[in-house]
Amino acid sequence: MPEAEIEVSGNAPVESKIDVRDSSHGLASVYSNRFDVMWTPHDVKMKFSELIKIVETTTDSPRTNVYEERVHVVVSWIQAKALAVALTELVSRYEAVNGEIKVPKLP
């Protein structure tokens, strides 16, 4: 577990340890292949969904992708910034080994 130094009100830095434990209610694992982001001045809400069905074109309606929302995650702006930095670094390291990830353009 990573250790960090924290400066407490002008005193010498003290070491701090992070201990992450599984919830007593269990830990959910969620797959998503679509997301939306909404925000307020206070926080950022990320909604993750999964494609569950494609309804083909009919004479009455266009082709429709049906998504089921799986989970909403709400974080503070500070956590959103930390997540953005962490994901940027992670993707950069992945691309350095595997080549550029090309985001497909949808029709």
Per-residue pLDDT tens over the stretch 23-74? 778 888 899 999 999 999 999 999 999 999 999 999 999 999 999 999 999 9
User: Measured between alpha carbons, how far is 74 from 69 in angstroms, rounded to an integer?
Assistant: 14
Q: Is residue 6 part of a domain?
A: no
Residue 35 lies in a domain: yes
Domain limits for position 64:
30-98
Contact 71, 77 (CB under 8 A): no
Q: Return the higher-pLDDT residue of 5 and 96.
A: 96
pTM of the full structure: 0.70
Assigned domain for 103 exists: no
What percent helix, strand, coil does the chain show, rounded to 5?
20, 35, 40
Helices (H), 1-107: 77-98
Number of domains in the chain: 1
14 part of a folded domain = no
